[in-house]
Structure 1
Amino acid sequence: MTPCKSIPRLTFTFFLFFSLSSATAAAAHLQSESENSNSECKGRWIHIRKLPSRFNLDLLTNCSAYPIYDDFCPYLANHGLGHKTHNRSHSWYRTDPSMLELLFHRRILEYPCLTPDPSLANAIFLPYYAGIDSLRYLYGPEVNSSAEHGLSLYRFLQQDNPQIWSRYSGHDHFLVLARPAWDFSQRLSNDPPLWGTSFLELREFYNITALTYESRAWPWQDHAIPYPTSFHPPTLALLRLWITRVRRARRNTLILFAGGGGVSAAPNIRHSIRSECDNSSAISNDTTTGTLISGQSKVCEIVDCSSGVCEHDPIRFMRPMLQSTFCLQPPGDTPTRRSTFDGILAGCIPVFFEELSAKSQYGWHLPEDQYEQFSVFIPKEEVVSKGLRIIHVLKAIPAVEIRRMREKLIEMIPRIMYRRHGSSLGLKAEKDAFDLAVEGTLTRIGSRIEELLAVR
C-alpha cells in the first residue's frame, strides 16, 4: 500500500500521540480537581479506551491506497477538518464527511470530564476509525471478508483488560462510524457478500452505541448525528459574524437545488426537480400561483454537484444558498444529505421529500416535534406520480412565515456545526454538534445501564 502523500507518517503520528498523551495527563488532573471541588462532571465522566495504533493512526497512513474510492490524504489536515478554503480563512475548510471519526477523536480530547480510570467512567469511547477501516472491505483486497470487519477489535477488547468490557457487556461503550449505518449492516448470511460490512450485525457489538450519519429505522445501536459542514469557527465573534451575514443576506432566488442525479428519463424526485426548474419561467408566469417574494428575481437555480465536484469546495454552493429562500433536499442513494446542514448553515429553508431525510434521524440536534417551524415537507409521491408543482407549494407560503422559519434556522446554526478544536472559551459556551452528540450518548447509555442493573 502506498503511504499517505499529504502528511508524513512520523510527523502526523507523533503529533496525535503527543495530543493523546497530553489529554490523558490533563484528564487525570481534571478528574482530581473535579472530585475535590464536586464539579458538574457527575454522571458525565468519559474514559477514552487506549487502542493499538492499528485501529486508528495506522489506518491514516494508507490514505491513498484505495484509487477506486478516493485519495483522502488531503482531508487529514487539521485533524480531519481538511485544508483551509483559502489562506486567510479562519473558519472555512475543505472538510470531507468521512473524516468525522478523526475530527470527533480530536474534539473528545478537549472534553472537560475525561477520566483515566475506566471504573469511574459513565461511558467508554472507542477511538476506532471504523469507517476508514471499512474501506479495505468495500474497495480493497478484503472485499470478500467483510463479515470479519470489527472482529479484531472485539478480540482486543476481550484480551486487554477484559473487565472494562465485561462490566456492562459493552453497553457503556460508544464509537463513531463516518458512514451511514446501512454500510455496516450486511447480513452475515450473505454469500457472496453484498455492499457493506457486517460490523453492526456482529452479535459481539449489539450493545454498543454507534454514532452515524444516518441511522436505521430500528435504532438500537445507532443514532444519527449531523454531517460535518465546512464551517468550523474558532471564536464566538466569528460565529456571530457569520450569523449576521446569514440574517442580512439578499435572497433573490426562490428555490435552489445543489446536487447531482436526475438527468436520466427515469421518473424520480431528482428528475422531477430538474424538469420543474428547467421550466420554471413558464411556471412563474402562471397567474394562479401568486408572485415571487419581494426582491426575488429568479424562481429556481441548480448548482450541479455531479461527480462530487462540490464536496470539498463550499464556495460553489454556499454563496447560492445564501441567495436562496428554499433549498431542496431530495433523497439520493440514502435518505439523508450533507446538504441539509449546509443549507441550515446558510439560513436556506430545507424542503424535505421523505420523513427519513431528517425528521426520524437527528433527534438530539434538530427539534423533533417542531419541523414545521423551520422546514417544508412535500411527499415525493405527490411530485413524481401526481404532478404536484414544488414551486406552487413554496410560492404559496406567506413572507411573514418565511421570515419566522429563517429565524428558527439561524437559532439552530450552533447546534449543527462542529466548531474548531482549540476554540475560545466564549464559543465553548455554545453547544455544538459534538457537545450534543456526547450529551445524547451519555443519556442513552445511562438509561440502558439503569435498565440493565434493574434486571440483574
Structure 2
Amino acid sequence: MKLLGRAVLSLIFLLILTLTYSIFIGTLDVRSHFFPLLNISTTPITAPCRAESPLRVYMYDFPRRFNVGMLNRRSSDETPVTSRDLPAWPRNSGLRRQHSVEYWMMASLLCEGEDPTREAVRVSDPDSADVFFVPFFSSLSFNTHGHNMTDPATEIDRQLQVDVLKFLRDSSYWQRSAGRDHVIPMNHPNAFRYLREEVNTSILIVADFGRYHKIIANLSKDVVAPYVHIVDSFINDDPPDPYGSRSTLLFFKGTTVRKDEGIVRAKLTKILAGYEDVRYENSHATGESIKASTEGMRLSKFCLHPAGDTPSSCRLFDAIVSHCVPVIVSDQIELPYEDELDYTEFSVFFSVKEALVPGYMVTQLRQFPKERWLEMWRRLKSISHHFEFQYPPKKDDAVNMIWRQVKHKVPAAKLAVHRSRRLKIPDWWRRRR
C-alpha cells in the first residue's frame, strides 16, 4: 500500500510539474479556460481599408439639340456628344456661365480613364445604375430660346421640354421608379418652367427654392448647387498683411432693382450711402463691370450678398473664390453642401430686418475682430476649391461635391421606390400628415 501511495504521489507531482512548465512556456492558456473575460489579445486587429465606391450613373443618349447643340446653333449634328467631341464652354458666354452646372455635370460623366477621387462614374448598363442622368440643358434652353418669356422663340424651349418628357415617359427605367432615381439639372430659376410638375419626384439640381412650389422641390430629395462663379479665382492671395491690404470694408456691385425678396437691394442703397469705406454701386453685368467686381472684391474685407429675384445669386460664389468674407442678407436662402460645410465659419449673416436698421450692419462690421476675420479668410482659402467647376474634374471640386450630394439622396429615393411597389392603397403616410 505504501508503495502504491508513493506511486500516486509521484504521478501527481509529475502532472503538476508538467502543467507548471506548460504554462510557463506558453503552450497552455489557463486564462482562456478559467478567466475568459481576461483573454485580451495583444495582436493588433487590422481591417482591410475599403474606399467608398463612386455613384454609378447611367446617362441617356440625347441628341445634341438638347444640350451642347445650343452652344453652337450652326451645328446640325444630332448624334450624342462624346468625350472626343465635347465642346469647351465658351469664355465669352457672360452671365450664361453662372447657370452652366448642367454642362459640367454632363462633362464629368463623359470623362474617360480611372480616377479614384471621382464621386460619380458613367455606366453602360442601366440595370447597374444607382441613378439616371437626364442631359437636358434646361437653363441654357431658357437663356437661348426666349429668355424674355414673351418672344416667339420661347416656344422652342417649351417644345424641348415636351420632347424630354415624352422620352422619359417612354423609358422603362423612368416608369420603374416614377422618375425618383433620375437626376435633372434646373439651376436657372426659370429652367424647365413649363413642365416642372411632371418631374417633381426626380432629384432636381437647383440653385435655390425661390421659384418652386414645395410639392415640386424641397431639401429632402433635391440638391442645392452653387452657381458657377463669374469672376476669376484669386490664386495668389498671400499678402504679408491680408487684413490691411483690403482697404474697403464692404463691397457690392450689381443690379439694385430686383423683385420679390430682392427689394431689399433698393432699400440698402439709402442705408449704405455716405460711408467712405463702403462701396455699394448699381451696375449691370458687362465685361468691364465683371473686371471691376473682380478687383473690388479682392480689395474688400466683406462682400455683400443680398437676395436677388430669388434668395441666391452668383455674387456669393464670386465672393468665396475672391476670399472676401460674404455678408449674407437673405432670409430664405439655402446653401450648397451645407451638410458638409458650416458657413458660419467663413460668412456673416444678417436678417433683412437687421440690415435695414440704419448704421447697424456697418457698425457691426467695423467692430468685427481682426483675428476672427483672419480665421474666416483662411477658411475661405481652404474651401474655395469646392466651388470650382472644371474639366476634367478634380478631387472635391464643385462637380464632385454635387455628385456626392446626389449620392446622399439615393437611399431616400430607393425607399420611396420600394414602398410604392408594394402599396395596394393610396399612401397612408402622406394622407396621415
TM normalised by structure 1 equals 0.66
CA contact (8 A) 2:68 2:87 kept: no
1:432 maps to 397
CA contact (8 A) 1:256 1:302 kept: yes
2:335 maps to 361
1:67-106 aligned within 5 A: 79-80=88-89, 82-83=91-92, 96-106=97-107
Query: Residue 332 and residue 104 in structure 1: after superposition, are their counterparts in 2 closer, same or farther (change >3 A)?
Result: same
1:402 maps to 373
Cα root mean square deviation, aligned: 3.5
Is 1:337 aligned to residue 313 of structure 2? yes
Deviation track 1:1-50 (CA, whole Å, cap 9, x = no partner) reads xxxxxxxxxxxxxxxxxxxxxxxxxxxxxxxxxxxxx9857462111111
Secondary structure of the equivalent of 2:223? strand
Secondary structure of the equivalent of 2:385? helix
1:121-132 aligned within 5 A: 121-132=129-140
CA contact (8 A) 2:138 2:191 kept: no
CA contact (8 A) 2:251 2:303 kept: yes
* 139, 163, 177: which one aligns with 2:172: 163
1:18-417 aligned within 5 A: 42=53, 44-62=55-73, 79-80=88-89, 82-83=91-92, 96-110=97-111, 113-134=121-142, 135-136=144-145, 138-141=149-152, 143=154, 150-159=161-170, 162-180=171-189, 183-184=190-191, 197-202=193-198, 205-216=199-210, 218=214, 219-220=217-218, 222-230=222-230, 241-242=235-236, 244=238, 248=242, 250-261=245-256, 268-281=263-276, 299-306=277-284, 308-309=285-286, 314-357=290-333, 360-364=334-338, 367=341, 370-384=342-356, 386-417=357-388
Paired with 1:348 and 1:173, the residues of 2 have a C-alpha distance of: 36
What amino acid does structure 2 have at the position aligned with 1:124? F
How big is the shift at 1:332? Answer: 2.0
How big is the shift at 1:449? Answer: 0.7
Paired with 1:443 and 1:301, the residues of 2 have a C-alpha distance of: 40
1:417-428 aligned within 5 A: 417-418=388-389, 420-422=390-392, 428=394
Is 1:453 aligned to residue 418 of structure 2? yes
What amino acid does structure 2 have at the position aligned with 1:405? M
1:296 maps to none
Secondary structure of the equivalent of 2:100? helix
Gaps of 5+ in 1: 1-37, 64-76, 85-92, 186-196, 234-238, 282-298
Secondary structure of the equivalent of 2:404? helix
What amino acid does structure 2 have at the position aligned with 1:199? L
CA contact (8 A) 1:365 1:415 kept: no
Deviation track 1:77-123 (CA, whole Å, cap 9, x = no partner) reads 96225259xxxxxxxx9872233322332233126622111110111
Paired with 1:305 and 1:214, the residues of 2 have a C-alpha distance of: 23
CA contact (8 A) 1:177 1:211 kept: yes
CA contact (8 A) 2:386 2:397 kept: yes
Secondary structure of the equivalent of 1:229? coil
Deviation track 1:268-310 (CA, whole Å, cap 9, x = no partner) reads 53234333443114xxxxxxxxxxxxxxxxx11235422x225
How big is the shift at 1:366? Answer: 6.5
Paired with 2:141 and 2:251, the residues of 1 have a C-alpha distance of: 36
What amino acid does structure 2 have at the position aligned with 1:200? R
Query: Residue 53 and residue 42 in structure 1: after superposition, are their counterparts in 2 closer, same or farther (change >3 A)?
Result: same
Identity of aligned residues (%): 18
CA contact (8 A) 1:210 1:223 kept: yes
* Larger radius of gyration between Structure 1 and Structure 2: 2
Paired with 2:306 and 2:126, the residues of 1 have a C-alpha distance of: 43
CA contact (8 A) 1:209 1:222 kept: yes
How big is the shift at 1:143? Answer: 4.5
Task: Work out the number of aligned pairs and report it.
Answer: 343
TM normalised by structure 2 equals 0.69
How big is the shift at 1:421? Answer: 0.8
What amino acid does structure 1 have at the position aligned with 2:223? H
Paired with 1:164 and 1:58, the residues of 2 have a C-alpha distance of: 25
How big is the shift at 1:375? Answer: 1.5
Deviation track 1:114-142 (CA, whole Å, cap 9, x = no partner) reads 21111101111111111222353625416
Paired with 1:58 and 1:78, the residues of 2 have a C-alpha distance of: 9
Query: Residue 102 and residue 453 in structure 1: after superposition, are their counterparts in 2 closer, same or farther (change >3 A)?
Result: same
What amino acid does structure 2 have at the position aligned with 1:224? V
1:74 maps to none
Secondary structure of the equivalent of 1:271? helix
Of stretches 118-127 and 134-143 in structure 1, the one that deviates more from structure 2 is: 134-143
Secondary structure of the equivalent of 1:45? strand
CA contact (8 A) 2:306 2:328 kept: yes
How big is the shift at 1:147? Answer: 7.1
2:426 maps to none
CA contact (8 A) 1:45 1:113 kept: yes
Paired with 1:166 and 1:262, the residues of 2 have a C-alpha distance of: 44
Paired with 1:438 and 1:81, the residues of 2 have a C-alpha distance of: 23
